[in-house]
A and B are shown apart, each in its own frame.
Chain A
């Protein structure tokens, strides 16, 4: 039963051999869900703007046991060289989805567990919620489980996920969890990087306890041939804070999907982000923010800079349940198109069942402003530099939303490394 055939249409067939070998109740349930739905096509509403064609036509193998240590070390060194403070952070490193203890550096103060030692799938990321999550559930090998006890200020940790693509199509499906007890705090920097062709399909299950605060910055620096489809589920208790930001720069196709649930009064969530894409890159920022209790606050600002034939997708849904009176929600998506062939597909959605709420949303799309360009050039700034200054300024207003100073410095350093001179500085 529930067998996936290699001759089935659609990308699910590319995982058939591995899927049919899974064991355990949760994985079988996931397999059943997948067998019913398949992987999403553009006929699926939530995937209307993002096609999985980029997965290609070759079957995905599991990552080989062991890895090229010299190659992984070189890639890690390159990532760490971005900013001096990144190299000094506590870090957990995964290579092709599996923990690489020899590359990691974790202080005793942090409780770090691993999925492969005690596989637990969490409660939020139920396999039938999303086929990409079901695929992860069926195939998850490892993952990082961070937990902070009540009242503990646990500082900052980087979770660095390296993909080493090779001749054969390869995919990895790490299952992460972050859990903060009441009053705890933690700052997590998730870095996705890699080279060659691979498919990275992480799922992160987050619980922020009462009055706890989790700052979470995701740096998506996947290799240019990579497909990266990640999903985050966050459940935030009363007076808790989940302050998240995603910077999307890499991958041929990347989707960062966040489901945040404000579960008790006075919880706060930020689902901010920025992406800068070129060539034929597709970058998708999708989110569902659910206000399931009164007096909660959600904030979302996403800025896109799209060049060449790049396409950005923004889908942002804010759901305000009947009980969620005094909700304060704000959502803004803005896109700067640098070329006539660049495209943004923006779909903001407000679904409100409570009657005493304050929710605003907006979207803008435009090219660089001719008046601003002329103003800069009339002051002697060469055109290329003037354009760069305006692009940086546009993104900078999003980067300024990264509240963790170290993470913000690292984001800016990456932008400088990739796109040259930082805006406005001589």
Chain B
């Protein structure tokens, strides 16, 4: 099977205060091109770890399994190579960069990725035009491009800034790690619309969320339930409502029994 993203038997652990803690215990997941999948699951089930491992964070040690992205061995690539290959992670807690201007940061990132993809770099004028348009579509205040990256941004502004970066970097596969957390309903809609604008046969996404609300605006093709470092159940969009109604306990119990 030659899927777009193919995760097989992925195990990963982290060294927490000298203790090795196994977090992913054999994740199998495949996402075809053009599809949006969601992962739901209780706190501590490994959702965010999966997103970090896919993006290349070094704190996690992959102990087994493989990840193929468009036929390439994703785990062998540096984080910046993954970005150039088309992967984007919208952070659950976007990082503040004091002293780094948001527009300069974004242009540096966009041009690094364009260089790596063999595209022409954008000059300052062309870049600013694109960035301003994209920021406006996300209802971002114009001065957010002039401020330091995420410094003094509200929770909602940080999440919009993530979606702005995603829009500008033109990924083919985006991971949204609880991008809905801390957003009010209006912001949620704006962020979801931002992601929906990117949907195309060439764009896939993995949406990590606790709440069904986001999935009302950003309707997924498949939903996966994760628990104790594994995908224990997969289904259609209707699964989200079932979880919202009944909680995870029922599914966890069924998985135990199986």
Query: Using a CB–CB distance below 8 Å, which chain A residues touch chain B?
Result: 370-372, 374-383, 385-386, 389-390, 392-394, 396-397, 423-426
Say whether, besides A372-B97, A390-B97, A397-B98, A380 and B83 are in contact (CB < 8 Å). Answer: yes
Docked Cα-Cα span, A330 to B85, in Å, equals: 48
State the 7 A-B residue pairs at the shortest beta-carbon distance, nearest first.
A393-B99, A424-B104, A380-B83, A380-B113, A379-B109, A375-B95, A377-B79
> What are 17 A-B pairs at a CB distance below 8 A?
A371-B95, A375-B95, A377-B78, A378-B56, A378-B82, A378-B83, A378-B88, A378-B91, A379-B105, A379-B165, A380-B116, A382-B80, A397-B99, A423-B99, A424-B100, A426-B104, A426-B107
Query: Per a CB cutoff under 8 Å, which of B59, B78, B104, B169 touches A379?
Result: B169
Q: A377-B79, A381-B108 are in contact. Are A394 and B99 (CB under 8 A)?
A: yes
Q: How far is the CA of A381 from the CA of B124 in the complex (A)?
A: 17
Flag whether B89 is at the interface (Cβ < 8 A): yes
Shortest CB–CB separation between residue B175 and chain A, in angstroms?
10
Q: How far is the CA of A371 from the CA of B98 in the complex (A)?
A: 13
User: Which residues of the other chain, A, contact B94 by a CB distance below 8 angstroms?
Assistant: 375
Partner of B112, one of A371, A380, A394, A423: A380
Determine whether the beta carbon of B100 is less than 8 Å from that of A380.
no
Please state if A383 and B80 are interface contacts (CB–CB under 8 Å). Answer: yes
* Closest CB in chain B relative to A420 CB, distance in Å: 13
User: Within 8 Å of chain A (Cβ to Cβ): is B136?
Assistant: no
Interface size in chain B (residues, C-beta < 8 A): 37
Distance (whole angstroms) from the CB of A421 to the closest CB of chain B: 9
Q: Closest CB-CB distance, A276 to chain B, in whole Å?
A: 14
Check: B121 CB closer than 8 A to any chain A CB: yes
Whole-angstrom CA separation of A408 from B88 in the bound complex: 37
Residues of A within 8 A of B84 (CB): 380
Provide the bound-state CA to CA distance between A396 and B104, in Å.
14
Q: Contacts A393-B98, A393-B100, A397-B98 given; indicate if A380 touches B109 (C-beta within 8 A).
A: yes
The answer to whether the Cβ of B101 comes within 8 Å of any Cβ in the partner chain is yes
Segment 51-94 of B: residues with Cβ below 8 Å from A: 55-59, 78-80, 82-84, 88-89, 91, 94
Given contacts A380-B116, A381-B108, contact A423 B100 (CB under 8 A): yes
Q: Closest approach, in angstroms, between the C-beta of B100 and any C-beta of chain A?
A: 5
Q: How far is A394 from B99 in the complex, measured between Cα atoms in Å?
A: 6
Assess whether A375 is in contact with B97, with CB atoms less than 8 Å apart.
yes
Distance between Cα atoms of A400 and B89 in the complex (Å): 32
* B136-164 vs A, Cβ < 8 Å mask (1 yes, 0 no): 00000000000000000000000000000
Q: Closest CB of chain B to A370's CB: distance in Å?
A: 8
Q: Please measure, in the bound complex, the distance between the C-alpha atom of A113 and the C-alpha atom of B112, giving whole angstroms.
A: 53
**How many Å from the CB of B67 to the closest CB on chain A?**
16
Q: B98, A379: Cβ atoms under 8 Å?
A: no
Residues of B within 8 A of A371 (CB): 95
Which of B99, B109, B111 lies at the interface centre, i.e. has the most chain A CB atoms within 10 A of its CB? B99
| Contact call B109/A396, Cβ cutoff below 8 A | no
Q: How far is the CA of A386 from the CA of B56 in the complex (A)?
A: 15
Q: Which residues in A have their C-beta under 8 angstroms from that of B124?
A: 426
Chain B contacts for A425, CB-based, 8 A: 104, 107-108
CB-CB under 8 A from B82, the residues of chain A are 378
Interchain CB contact under 8 A, A379 and B83? yes
Residues of A within 8 A of B80 (CB): 377-378, 380-383, 386
CB distance A378 to B108 under 8 Å?
no
Across the interface, A382 reaches (CB within 8 A) one of B55, B99, B112, namely B112
- B107, closest chain A residue (CB): A426
Residues in A neighbouring B113, C-beta threshold 8 A: 379-380
Bound together, the chains give a CA A131 to CA B84 distance in angstroms of: 59
User: B56, B108, B109, B122: which has the most chain A beta carbons within 10 Å?
Assistant: B108
Having A374-B95, A378-B80, A378-B89, one finds 15 other A-B pairs with CB under 8 Å, namely: A377-B78, A377-B79, A378-B56, A378-B83, A379-B105, A379-B113, A379-B165, A379-B169, A389-B97, A393-B98, A397-B99, A424-B101, A424-B105, A425-B107, A425-B108
A380 to B101 alpha-carbon distance, docked (Å): 17
Chain B residue at minimal CB-CB distance from A381: B112
* Residues of chain A lying within 8 A (CB to CB) of residue B107: 425-426
A426 & B121 in contact (Cβ 8 Å cutoff): yes
In the complex formed, the residue of A with least CB distance to B79 is A377
**B80, B113, B116, B124: residue with the most chain A Cβ atoms closer than 10 Å:** B80
When distances are taken between beta carbons in the complex, the residues of chain B under 8 Å from A377 are 56, 78-80, 83
- The reply to whether B56 and A380 form a contact with Cβ atoms under 8 Å apart is no
Report the separation of the CA atoms of residues A386 and B105 in the bound assembly, to the nearest whole angstrom: 10
Q: A397 — which chain B residues lie within 8 A by C-beta?
A: 98-99
